[in-house]
Amino acid sequence: MHRDLIMNLLDECFPEDPTEQEDKARMLDFISREPNCFERSCQEGHFTGSCWLENFDGSAALLTHHKKIQLWLQLGGHADGDSNLLRVSLKEAQEESGLAVEPVSNKIFDIGVHLIPPYKDITQHYHYDVRFYLRATEDKPFVVSEESHDLKWVERQDQLPDNRDVQRMSRKWKKLKHEESGLLKS
């Protein structure tokens, strides 16, 4: 079944944050009852794949100022029928930044369910966003795509937008970087 991959990944995901725990339950419910959950045509909503993308040396993360939503967010986009959301997040990160990227992990990094307001002829719907931790494979400048007003590398917490999910992903990333540096010193 095309939904098995994401269901297995969600089963292996153990969020500590209460909001993220609730979003996981909502995702599992949605995927179990909606056969077209990866299609934009699904009126209630659909799955999206996005990422926390760090630069080549792991010192900063890339955010996009999204044209339609008018917010600073992580890179990502619609699954458009692809149930492999890691593949979706890799494709979207490359398309939106012009950077070659690779997964740091094949496991889910973060999740979120968000109500998307109406836009032109698109009705209000939910994005069931599954996020992966990716890294740029080379040190080169990004390219701003047509989907963004701008992109920026952020290094510090005070550079982040006032967005609960972006703040949470940054805390997770900082914790991983701290644990990684402790392992390197050992």
Q: What is the pLDDT of residue 155?
A: 87
Residues 6+ apart with CB under 8 A from 133: 51, 52, 54, 103, 104, 105, 109, 173, 176
Strand partners, 129: 48, 112
Residue 13 · residue 108 · CB < 8 Å: yes
- Could you tell me the residue range of the domain that residue 138 belongs to? 4-185
Band of residue 185 on the pLDDT scale cut at 50, 70, 90:
low
Q: Which residues contact 46 (CB under 8 A, 6 or more apart)?
A: 36, 37, 38, 39, 40, 78, 79, 125, 126, 127, 128
pLDDT(69) > 90: no
pLDDT the model gives residue 186: 43
| pLDDT recorded at residue 136 | 97
Residue 1 has pLDDT above 70, yes or no: no
Phi, psi for 97 (deg, rounded to 5):
-120, -20
Q: How confident is the model at residue 42 (pLDDT cuts 50, 70, 90)?
A: very high
Report pLDDT digits (tens) over 104-129: 999 999 999 999 988 888 899 999 99
Longest dimension (CA), the chain: 56
Q: Total domain count for the chain?
A: 1
- pLDDT of 183: 60
Q: In this structure, what CATH number is given to the domain that contains residue 39?
A: 3.90.79.10
Residue 79: what pLDDT?
Answer: 96
Residues ≥6 apart with Cβ < 8 Å to 127: 45, 46, 47, 48, 112, 113, 114, 116
Q: Are 156 and 77 in contact (CB under 8 A)?
A: no
